[in-house]
Amino acid sequence: MRSTSYQYRLVTTAIACLILNGCQSEGEQVFPISGKILFSDGSPATFGTIECRSDSSSPVIARGRIEKDGSFTVKSFGNRNGLVAGDHRMIVVQVTGSPRDGGTIIHNHGQEVATRYSNYDSTDLRLHVQPGGRNHFEFIVDAR
Amino acid sequence: MPTDYYFPGNGTGVINTCLGICDENSRLTGSWTNRVSIKSIHDGTTQTFMAGEMHIPIGQINTVPYNGPMFNGQELVAHTRIGGPGVPILSASEEAGFLFGFGSWHPGVCNFVFADASTRPIKNSIDTVLLGRLCHRADGEIVDLN
C-alpha cells in the first residue's frame, strides 16, 4: 500500500472580502456566549473547532474549541471571551487524519458533523448575540 | 470558492512538494509524489503561498506531532500546515492541540513565501476566508494584498 494518504478531510468556504487585514475593530465590546452541538440522537459532537463570522461589512471573526461534551465558548480579537452583538454565521471544522497508530487512522471521536457546516455558504448555523442577555445556543446538527 | 483548498500536493491546496512514497511498512521508497509545477498555480504566483512558518506551540520544538521530520510520507501534520475558515494563523501562545495552522513566534504576524519567491508578513488576524484563498492555488479569486 502506498502510504501517501492525505487524510486531511474537510472544510471550507467562500465570500469575497478584498481587505487583507483589519477587517476587525478591536474596540468593539464583546459579550460572553456559550453553546452546545448535538446530533439528533442526543450525542454530542466531541471534537473540532467552531468559527463565527459577524454579519457586517467589517466582519469580526471569533473561534473556539468543541469540548468532549459538545460545549463551546468563543474568543474574539485573539483572547477576549465572547462575540460582538448582532448576527453571526457559524461553521464547524473537524480535521481528521492524524495521529496514526500502526498505519491506521484512529477514529474514536464519535460522529462527525456533515461537511456543509464547514462552509459559510452552506452552513445554516446562526447566532444572534444580545448585549447583556443570556447568550446560550444549542444546535442539533446532521452527522456526516 | 472551491472547497478543497485544505488538500495539499496533488490537491489544489497548500503547495507541498516533498512527500515521499512509503511502502506498506511505512518505509520511504525513494520515490516522490505531489510535485507541483509552476504552471499549476492558476491564481498566479503573487496570489499563492508557497510556504509559511508553521505553528509550533511553545515547548514543542522537535516534538512530534507538532514538529516532526519533513521527509515524511505519512504524518502530514509534522511538516505541513493548512489555512482557511476554522484554521486561522495561530499565535505562539496558542494552547497545544491546534495542530494544523500556520503560526509564528513573531508577535502578531506570520511570515510567508509566495510562489513568486517574494516574502511578506501576514497579520494573524487576517480574514480566514482570504487566508484560504491565499492557500489555494486555483480558486480563481484575486486577493488585494494592499
Percent of chain B with pLDDT over 70: 76
pTM of the model: 0.77
pLDDT for A6: 37
Question: From edge to edge, which strands make up the β-sheet containing A34-39?
Answer: A71-72, A34-39, A136-141
Mean pLDDT of B124-130: 90
Mean pLDDT of B40-46: 87
pLDDT for B12: 55
pLDDT for A137: 97
Q: Which tops the pLDDT comparison, B99 or B114?
A: B114
Residues in A closer than 8 angstroms to B19, CB to CB, are 4
Contact at 8 Å (CB) between B109 and B122? yes
Contact at 8 Å (CB) between A123 and A91? yes
Chain A interface test: which of B34, B129, B145 (most A C-beta within 10 Å)? B129
CA A85 to mean position of chain CA atoms:
18
Nearest by Cα to A117 from A24, A52, A40, A28: A52
Cell of A142: 446532521
CB atoms within 10 A of CB B87: 29
Count CA atoms closer than 13 A to B36's CA, side-chain side. 26
- Which of A39-53, A55-69, B24-38 comes out lowest in average pLDDT? B24-38
CB contacts under 8 A, B 65-124 vs A, are 65, 73-77, 82, 84-88, 91, 97-100, 122-124
CA B100 to mean position of chain CA atoms:
8
Residues in B closer than 8 angstroms to A98, CB to CB, are 65, 75-77, 99
Residues in A closer than 8 angstroms to B146, CB to CB, are 20
Nearest by Cα to A95 from A124, A78, A73, A115: A115
CA A7 to mean position of chain CA atoms:
20
Largest CA distance in chain A: 57
Instruction: Check pLDDT > 80 for residue A44.
Output: yes
Q: Would you place residue B51 in the very low, low, confident or very high pLDDT band (cuts 50, 70, 90)? A: confident
Contact A119/B85, CB-based, under 8 Å?
A: yes
pLDDT for B95: 65
Q: Which tops the pLDDT comparison, B143 or B120?
A: B120
What's the whole-number average pLDDT of chain B? 78
Which chain B residue has its CA at the smallest distance from A12's CA? B3
Q: Which tops the pLDDT comparison, B76 or B85?
A: B85
Nearest by Cα to B130 from A11, A23, A94: A23
Cell of B4: 478543497
Q: Which tops the pLDDT comparison, A94 or A59?
A: A59
The per-residue DSSP string of B116-138 comes to TS-EEEEETT--HHHHHHHH-SS
pLDDT for B16: 60
C-alpha gyration radius of chain B = 15
Contact A12/B132, CB-based, under 8 Å?
A: yes
Q: Would you place residue A89 in the very low, low, confident or very high pLDDT band (cuts 50, 70, 90)? A: very high
Contact at 8 Å (CB) between B128 and A61? yes
Mean pLDDT of B44-64: 86
B15 phi and psi, to 5 degrees?
A: -70, 130
